[in-house]
Structure 1
Amino acid sequence: MPRNFKSIAFAASATDEAEAARAELAALYDHVPMEQADVVVALGGDGFMLQTLHAIMDTGKMAYGMNRGSVGFLMNSYTKDGLIERIEKAVCNEIRPLKMQTINADGGKSLAYAINEVSLFRQSYQAAKFKVTVDGRERLAELICDGLLLSTPAGSTAYNFSAHGPILPLEAPLIAMTPVSAFRPRRWRGALLPEKLTVDITVLEPDKRPVNAVADNTEVKSVISVRVTQSEGRTTRLLSDPDHSWSDRILAEQFVD
């Protein structure tokens, strides 16, 4: 069914290729400032698309990306022709981010949202040591590793996949918990959790083994505890071409060499 929208805006990453694409498209199509648009056409790579999705969260706007970066998993292919028709026919994917709440070593608290993943990483040469509790029940009394990821389906093909985590279909109501270089328990390879659960991660020996926590591109240093839940009510929307939908891309990733 055709998608109805009134106006588009162009946003480009700070690269020559993306800026050139924005100039080319701006000369061909009517456009408005981002705050006035129904659809934001993002030109760049996956990192820039993540920034755009965060910027339009809860605004009702939709993001339509065209790849002017490297990998471009979140992006559609670039062409200057038929842009309005492509947006009209695009499939809308509604994404609900993870909410990360942290307490750091000096007692400070922070809140951030992750469309891809929440990640915890060792800050020094020594491995991190965590206690992991799920919905109030201790599941790992001591996990020693370089890091720990909690990924949404949308982010499961990113760092999670590089750390040998599972790829999740976009519609799966799951979170992937994946360790990075787990030392103890040596055979633990991660877990699949229902998206509605609350995960509490306590940093053990934080003075000796300091840890940073990251929600997409928001980093908090020297955390002592992290709580991860699915956000309540917050959403962002991504458009993909129907012949190359996001669900199709995730499925295809599971069969590549």
Structure 2
Amino acid sequence: MKVTLVVNTRKTEAIDYKHAIEDHLSSKGVKVTSILEENYNRDDFFDTDAIVSIGGDGTMLRIAGVLRGQDTPILGVNAGHLGYLTEVSRIEQIPEAMDRLIRHDYIRDVRTMLHGSVRRNGEVISRGTALNEILVSRRNGISVMHFAVSCDGQELSNYTSDGIIFSTPTGSTAYNLSAGGPIVSPGSPVIVMTPICAHSTKSRPVVLSDSSRIQIRVESENEIVAFDGEHIIDLKQGDIVTVRKANEMTTLIKLREGSFLETLRKKMDNEH
């Protein structure tokens, strides 16, 4: 068995977790490799049986973006603030978690992703995938953006706002939540559309079927589209951004049932 560790060294506790995991897995005869920087690619994981992400939700999102649907399960070890995607949050949990990883004693939690493309003058100029969200927004804080949204060929609405978020159920607890969007259970077959600081009280979040094909026509300049905050593309007036459920998926390792609700409760308790 081979396990690859991806370590966010900006997290102060990450190196301690790394050493504890390496020592435990090596003592069980598991081959362990470690990646300490962000400049890795899909080929680094081609013969890996499992990935252990040591950092936070952002570290896991970067891994998911690199894997682009490769069916290698990811176990999240939290080395910062409480995350929604991570499963291990204390160093004393490492031995049991690694033993279960070796025994394949875990739940494979398959999460949907979003696919986005940018069309300019009839030609697709860029594509990307996201586990959390695809964001269309202004590049700077000077002006608002104007855009028109249609769904499955039918006009939905025209917006004047700071941007709009299209999130998966996984991403509903991220930027979407901060922008006033709803929290959605991870297995729900939906795409959540949430405007950011819309200049109309009638502009509300909309929950769409994940079979929907959504198009955003950009009607102003200085805009961008971002995939999980990583892959960022400059937009021009007249560009069309298409968002749909991706063919690719991300597989997370869950060590217990109901962990999403438990994490959600803890998050809400911490805010009081």
TM-score by length of 1: 0.87
Match of 2:97 among 83, 101, 112: 83
Structure 1 residue 218 displacement after superposition: 0.9
Q: % of aligned pairs identical?
A: 25
The one-letter code matched in structure 2 to 1:240 is K
Whether 1:23 and 2:3 are equivalent positions in the alignment is no
Q: Residue 46 of structure 1 contacts residue 69 of structure 1 at CA under 8 Å; is this kept in 2? A: no
Give the secondary-structure state (helix, strand or coil) at the position aligned to 1:155. Answer: helix
User: Which residue is equivalent to 1:158?
Assistant: 174
State the Cα distance separating 1:132 from its structure 2 match: 0.6
User: Within 5 Å, which residues of 2 pair with 1:218-233?
Assistant: 218-223=231-236, 224-232=239-247
Moved more, 160-169 or 16-25: 16-25
Q: Is the 8 A contact 1:42 1:64 kept in 2?
A: yes
Q: Which amino acid aligns with 2:218?
A: V
For 1:57, the equivalent position in structure 2 comes to: 68
Which ranges of structure 1 fall in alignment gaps of 5 or more residues? 1-5
Q: 1:198 to 1:106 in 2, by over 3 A?
A: closer
Match of 2:255 in 1: 241
Q: Corresponding residue for 1:12?
A: 7
Give unpaired runs (5+ residues) of structure 2: 34-44
Aligned to 2:211: 196
The SS at the match of 1:36 is coil
Counterparts in 2 of 1:253 and 1:23: CA distance versus 1, 3 Å: closer
Which letter does structure 1 place at the counterpart of 2:106? A
* Contact 1:96–1:231, Cα closer than 8 Å, also in 2: yes
RMSD: 2.3
Matched, 1:143 2:159: yes
Shift of residue 250, structure 1, vs aligned partner: 4.8
Cα distance in structure 1, aligned partners of 2:246 and 2:235? 23
The amino acid of 2:90's aligned partner reads: Y
Conservation of the 8 A alpha-carbon contact between 2:22 and 2:32:
no
Deviation of the 1:247 alpha carbon? 5.4
Q: Is 1:176 the counterpart of 2:195 in the alignment? A: no
SS at match of 1:202: strand
The residue matched to 2:13 in structure 1 has which SS?
helix
Aligned residues: 246
Q: d(CA) in 2 for partners of 1:143 and 1:82?
A: 50
The alpha-carbon distance between structure 1 residues 104 and 254, as it changes in their structure 2 partners (threshold 3 A), is farther
Distance in 1, matches of 2:261 and 2:193, equals 20
Hey, what does 1:3 align to over in structure 2?
none
Asked if structure 2 preserves the Cα contact closer than 8 Å seen for 1:101 and 1:228, the reply is yes
Match of 1:22, SS state, is helix
- How far does the alpha carbon of each residue in 1:41-80 deviate from its partner, in whole angstroms, 9 at most, with x for none? 1100110011122233333210001101223221112323
CA 253–194 in structure 1, closer or farther in 2 if over 3 Å, else same: farther
Conservation of the 8 A alpha-carbon contact between 1:99 and 1:230:
yes
